Structure 1
Amino acid sequence: MSPSTEAPPTHGGDHADPQTPQPGLEPGPKKKLRVAAVGDLHVAEAHVRPHRDLFQRVHEDADVLCLCGDLTNHGTRREVEILLEDINDCRIPIVAVLGNHEHECGRPDEVTQSLCDAGVRMLGGEAYEIDGVGFAGGKGFVGGFGRYMLSPFGEASIKAFVQEAVEDANAIENSIRTLRTERSVVVLHYSPVVDTVMGEPPEIHAFLGSSRLGETIDRYDNVSLVVHGHAHRGAPEGRTHKGVPVYNVALPVLRTLGDTPYRVFEV
């Protein structure tokens, strides 16, 4: 699939000092794009405009907003409606991926369609270009890291589990491959490196991401940085084996860094 090059639609308080923009690995010679990112908003049915401030002010600090999954608690229609009430206040393009929580109700395609109908560019094997910067990615999947990564051996259920991880990584790779931009951002929910899950109990590391995602990213030279969520108690930064910066932008992690409910990067 070829990446979309049309300009995505925009979405329509006092504001705390934004965090210092973080540089990408290879910013390139062109004008830098300010990319804000956050994941794990976990909108619940009892919430009333829970992230209004975030979506109303982010345009003051960034040109694009990346949402890194777990935007709702269970993926229910009402949760998505509440989320969209806030998203409609956003004045800049949004690209997003689903998280595991959007799958809980068994209607992830319906969640995706609702977000697309609201103008959000969903990354699930697709890719988009915004002002010369490419955006690719997807949810990702679990499986573990390095020598502890689960292999397709033994029971059929284990092999099927690993196969899903492989297929998910392949879809993300296909989206990266379609980009022809010198600078690209990969948006995930699950972590591609163990660095950014450190702080979580080691017993659950295998359920927070997979080295397959990091290996996929490292096959491409135009990836400037990676953003993901999911690991609420993880570390804010890491790198792939090749050195690509990886940032955990789960909202609980961002709250340990300051009051700004997103992190801003210059790409």
Structure 2
Amino acid sequence: MALRLLAVSDVHSPKFLLDFVAALKRRTGECRETSLYIFAGDMVYKGRVEALKSVLDALYSVCGEKPTIAVFGNEEFIGLEERFRKMYPSVKWLDDESIVVDVDGVRVGVVGTRGSLERPTMWQRRKMPWLWRVYAERIRRVEELLSRVKREADVTILVSHYTLTWRTLEGEPREIWPEMGHRGFEEVIRRVKPSLAIHGHAHKSRVLQVVVDSVPVYNVAFPARRDITIIEVEARVE
């Protein structure tokens, strides 16, 4: 049984909102056939919580209202999580958390995280030096969640805002790769083998999909694709 989902990140509403709406309208037929929406972070611009409403209104109007799962990005600023949860209760927000939902009879397990950086940005090093520890601990936490969810679900999806592999960073300046993602997640993917993995953040990427030890990994950043991403995955339904 196949599950079809729509994934996107980095709309930075209102920055790319009109382009996002145009992409939805170009692919109305396809997006209406999806059963689940996944936001991989940075859906709003610089902490503008209210700007997500236009994204959801457009998506639901063009493609229909369906289960929506999201992670926070670096522009859904740390400290704003509860505001997003309260303003958009229809969205299942995951912050180093997991959920198993029934989608058309398929048990879909999603582990969601902001992700980790191998080297915090200069601003983070100055203002949030404790992030070094958070990034290291997060990889272990995500692996635990992913292993647990895989035992419960027919489809297991890892969603991160920061990149999960450096292989999808081709096109970005190489010197900043450590500040865009963490290769430790590649090892998690190899060990646990989820059905697929999704990330955003890499706006200039020229490599939008790779396979890590049989697991497809998608960069769904809107600025890189100038499009939404439709993904079909086979579910193992017993």
Structure 2 residue runs without a partner (length 5+): none
Distance 2:166 2:49 in 1: 33
> Residues 2 and 232 of structure 2 are in contact (CA less than 8 Å); yes or no, is this contact kept in structure 1?
no
Distance 2:128 2:36 in 1: 39
**Aligned counterpart, 1:135:** 110
Q: Give the drift of 1:71.
A: 0.3
**Aligned counterpart, 1:22:** none
> Residues 229 and 250 of structure 1 are in contact (CA less than 8 Å); yes or no, is this contact kept in structure 2?
yes
The two structures, once aligned, show a CA RMSD in angstroms of 3.0
**Aligned counterpart, 2:2:** 32
**SS of residue in 1 equivalent to 2:43:** coil
Q: Give the drift of 1:53.
A: 6.4
> Residues 11 and 17 of structure 2 are in contact (CA less than 8 Å); yes or no, is this contact kept in structure 1?
no
Deviations 1:172-225 (A, max 9, x none): 22331331224311111111111101110001101111012222232214x111
**SS of residue in 2 equivalent to 1:178:** helix
- After superposition, the Cα gap between the structure-2 partners of 1:238 and 1:50, relative to the gap in structure 1 and judged at 3 Å, is closer
Q: Partner letter of residue 111 of structure 1?
A: F
Structure 1 residue 266 corresponds to structure 2 residue 233: yes
Deviations 1:131-152 (A, max 9, x none): 23322221112116xxxxx9xx
- After superposition, the Cα gap between the structure-2 partners of 1:103 and 1:38, relative to the gap in structure 1 and judged at 3 Å, is same
> Residues 52 and 86 of structure 1 are in contact (CA less than 8 Å); yes or no, is this contact kept in structure 2?
no
- After superposition, the Cα gap between the structure-2 partners of 1:252 and 1:187, relative to the gap in structure 1 and judged at 3 Å, is same
**SS of residue in 2 equivalent to 1:40:** coil
Distance 1:224 1:172 in 2: 15
**SS of residue in 1 equivalent to 2:45:** coil
Q: Give the alignment's TM-score, normalised by structure 1.
A: 0.71
> Residues 10 and 43 of structure 2 are in contact (CA less than 8 Å); yes or no, is this contact kept in structure 1?
yes
> Residues 96 and 122 of structure 1 are in contact (CA less than 8 Å); yes or no, is this contact kept in structure 2?
yes
Q: Give the drift of 1:50.
A: 5.8
Matches within 5 A, 1:199-238: 199-221=171-193, 223-234=194-205, 235-238=207-210
Residue among 211, 227, 230 paired with 1:239: 211
Q: Give the drift of 1:91.
A: 2.2
Structure 1 residue 42 corresponds to structure 2 residue 12: yes
Residue among 224, 230, 237 paired with 1:253: 224
Q: Partner letter of residue 93 of structure 1?
A: P
Structure with the larger helix share: 2
- After superposition, the Cα gap between the structure-2 partners of 1:171 and 1:127, relative to the gap in structure 1 and judged at 3 Å, is farther
**SS of residue in 2 equivalent to 1:36:** strand
Q: Partner letter of residue 233 of structure 2?
A: E
Distance 1:94 1:41 in 2: 16
Distance 1:200 1:137 in 2: 24
**Aligned counterpart, 2:65:** 91
Larger radius of gyration: 1
Count residues in correspondence. 219
Q: Give the drift of 1:113.
A: 3.3
Distance 1:46 1:39 in 2: 11
Structure 1 residue runs without a partner (length 5+): 1-30, 145-149
Percent identity of equivalent pairs: 25
Matches within 5 A, 1:1-267: 31-44=1-14, 51=21, 54=24, 57=28, 59-89=31-61, 90-103=64-77, 106-115=79-88, 117=89, 119-124=90-95, 125-130=97-102, 131-143=106-118, 160-179=130-149, 180-221=152-193, 223-234=194-205, 235-240=207-212, 242-255=213-226, 260-267=227-234
> Residues 43 and 50 of structure 1 are in contact (CA less than 8 Å); yes or no, is this contact kept in structure 2?
no
> Residues 136 and 176 of structure 1 are in contact (CA less than 8 Å); yes or no, is this contact kept in structure 2?
yes
> Residues 98 and 112 of structure 1 are in contact (CA less than 8 Å); yes or no, is this contact kept in structure 2?
no
Q: Give the drift of 1:47.
A: 6.0
- After superposition, the Cα gap between the structure-2 partners of 1:50 and 1:37, relative to the gap in structure 1 and judged at 3 Å, is closer
Deviates more, 1:49-58 or 1:173-182: 49-58
